[in-house]
Amino acid sequence: MVTLTAPEQAAAPAQAAESFTVDLSTSTVRELNQALHDAGTGQSWTVTAPGGKHSLAVGINTDIEVTINGHAGYYAAGMHQKGTVTINGNAGVGLAENIMSGTVHVTGDASQSAAATGHGGLVVIDGNASARCGISMKGVDIVVGGNIGHMSAFMAQAGRLVVCGDAGEALGDSIYEARIYVQGTVASLGADCIEKPMREEHLTELAGLLAAAGRTDDPANFKRYGSARNLYHFHVDNSTAY
């Protein structure tokens, strides 16, 4: 059974959010996730001793705040729908996979496939993200404070990827209508991904994304990348290749 620690509430408890702590050195991941699924709106949860365990805080569908103090393993905050999950450490493969809404924030680095197939919400990675960041993204917004690895935003369909550092090889390969903003250098662009002009609307959009991620980078220092729209349009001259 999950072991909860409920600290004393401040004055005026009727206005204070309920707070709980789960120690994963004595409770299981299954027990943690069940407790989070049963949590009430507005509650605050702290997870201690995560020890790099997998599938922490997955499938949250309640407007709660979850803080994981330590490193998380694979698929942390996967299928996230409501509230905020903050990981004070690094995250393994598949961070916030298939996120629908809400916010997931990692103060360290993230491994491969961060926010893969994400439909909505905001994923903030203060450090670096490895290969395939934002692969097949479908509407999620991702802000990475450091660098990203190769094949990021592969087949990205919708949403925005902001990279405050450098991007690896084959950025945006086979991209559809997602937008990519990179402040640093890009090792190479993938098939059908090109640099595009930064108009005023894009500067405004980028400024909003950076502010939402708590960053102060200047949008004017970024370049925008997106689809040349050649791969997904039929061309009769190429009919024999289909």
pLDDT at 8: 41
pLDDT tens digits, one per residue of 104-161? 999 999 999 999 999 999 999 999 999 999 999 999 999 999 999 999 999 999 999 9
Mean pLDDT for all residues in the chain: 93
pLDDT tens digits, one per residue of 47-64? 999 999 999 999 999 999
Cα 6 to Cα 29, 41, 45, 88, 108, distances in angstroms: 19, 16, 9, 21, 27
> CA 76, CA 70: separation in Å to the nearest integer?
12
Half-sphere exposure of 170 toward its Cβ, with a 13 Å CA cutoff?
Answer: 15
Q: Where are the alpha helices (DSSP H) in 6-130?
A: 29-37
> CA 110, CA 131: separation in Å to the nearest integer?
10
First to last CA, the chain: 57
Half-sphere exposure of 157 toward its Cβ, with a 13 Å CA cutoff?
Answer: 9
Q: Which DSSP category does 145 fall into?
A: S
pLDDT tens digits, one per residue of 31-45? 999 999 999 999 999
Q: Which pTM does this prediction carry?
A: 0.91
pLDDT tens digits, one per residue of 168-220? 999 999 999 999 999 999 999 999 999 999 999 999 999 999 999 999 999 99
Enumerate domains of the chain plus CATH numbers: 51-61+69-230 (2.160.20.60)
